[in-house]
Amino acid sequence: MQIGLVGLGRMGMNMGRRWLKGSHEVVAFNRTIEKAQELSREGAIAAGSLKTLVDHLKTPRLVWLMLPTGAVVDQHVKELAELLSPGDVVVDGGNTYYKDDIRHAEFLKTKGVRFMDAGVSGGIWGLKNGYCTMVGGDQELFQHLEPLLKTLAPQDGYLHCGGVGAGHFIKMVHNGIEYGLMQAYAEGFEIIEASPYKTDLQKVSHLWNQGSVVRSWLLELAEEAFAQDSGLAKISGYVEDSGEGRWTVQQAIETGVAAPIITQSVYQRFMSREKDPFGFRVLAALRNQFGGHAVVKAGEDKRQAIAGAVQAAVAAPGVQPAGFR
């Protein structure tokens, strides 16, 4: 099949490569022409503009977007609406909010252009392993896209999830679950790291993937990370979020579904970006005010300060350490 691919980031570039290897014809456009030219050296046609991309495609045209969510997608949808013809198809394969899909589909429909959404998971490993793809939109149009989806995904790795927005909705929940799984692994490894047992975390990760109930691809990636840097000393604890975790929590609130693990995992990411959060300083001050609990002064070594406070409390007659009150 022929496909116009817009957006050649880490995901888009490798998706284009996978389609080329599957003998599809790829016309590629990127904001910086160098990336399109790079893919052209592997068999794609490089387009210097959206109009050039559209002009290269045979009708009915198929344009697949791999762009950052929000204003960038909005702008490209508006531009394509003026360039495409009735019967052409736009597929949004980025991480767009599913309610935006519905809005985009309604807008394009006024121009006679059809729309589908595709939630794509696979990250930087997708070129080798394939991309798990969750698709929303018309069933007939889904069947038209199947040759592309079969090339993109591993075996049984794509699904028509329902009407417009369903693909990105299922991908949104997928990412919410991912947040929770990652948080559980992070907490577990931190407990081991803080224990008196100096167990090799790479070996633990490898062990748990040998038949354990917590085995997973994420755990394989943890093993790889520990192999590269056993104490993760080269990595900052700052953790960004793509937005889909937040949307999952918003959806849970809208529908009255309890999702405490996913919600907390999103909050943990917010906390990771703060240095000495003000709220935690309020907590420490309150504990000191009502119970005389130890306070660590700014700049002090926290563990030494707390240990000293506990020792002093134990030494005082008739006084228990604060942690036992």
In tens digits, the chain (325 residues) has pLDDT values of: 999 999 999 899 999 999 999 999 999 999 999 999 999 999 999 999 999 999 999 999 999 999 999 999 999 999 999 999 999 999 999 999 999 999 999 999 999 999 999 999 998 889 999 999 999 999 999 999 999 999 999 999 999 999 999 999 999 999 999 999 999 999 999 999 999 998 999 999 999 999 999 999 999 999 999 999 888 888 888 888 878 999 999 999 999 999 999 999 999 998 888 887 777 778 787 777 786 766 677 666 555 555 555 454 445 444 444 443 3
Alpha-carbon span 224 to 227, nearest angstrom? 5
Give helix 244-255 / helix 166-193 axis angle, nearest 10°: 110
Question: Which residue of the set 178, 234, 240, 275 is catalytic?
Answer: 178
Residue 67, C-beta contacts closer than 8 angstroms, at least 6 positions apart: 6, 7, 73, 76, 92, 94
Provide the pLDDT for residue 325: 38
Provide the pLDDT for residue 319: 41
78 is catalytic: no
Return the amino acid letter for 275.
K
Alpha-carbon span 285 to 293, nearest angstrom? 9
Alpha-carbon span 309 to 287, nearest angstrom? 14
Of 133, 118, 123, 175, residue with least CA distance to 14: 123
Cis omega (within 30 of 0) for bond into 260: no
Alpha-carbon span 68 to 48, nearest angstrom? 19
- Alpha helices for 4-134 (secondary structure H): 10-21, 33-40, 50-56, 71-83, 98-109, 126-129
With vertex at residue 185, the alpha carbon angle to CA 96 and CA 94, rounded to the nearest 5 degrees, is: 10
With vertex at residue 232, the alpha carbon angle to CA 131 and CA 121, rounded to the nearest 5 degrees, is: 10
- DSSP-derived letter for residue 165 is T
178 is catalytic: yes
Strand ranges, E, within 204-279: none
Provide the pLDDT for residue 124: 83
DSSP 66-99: ---TTHHHHHHHHHHHHH--TT-EEEE-S---HH
Alpha-carbon span 55 to 315, nearest angstrom? 83
218: tokens are 């994420």
Provide the pLDDT for residue 322: 42
Alpha-carbon span 37 to 30, nearest angstrom? 9
Question: Which residue of the set 35, 171, 223, 244 is catalytic?
Answer: 171
Provide the pLDDT for residue 317: 46
Answer for the pair 132, 150: CB distance below 8 angstroms, yes or no.
no
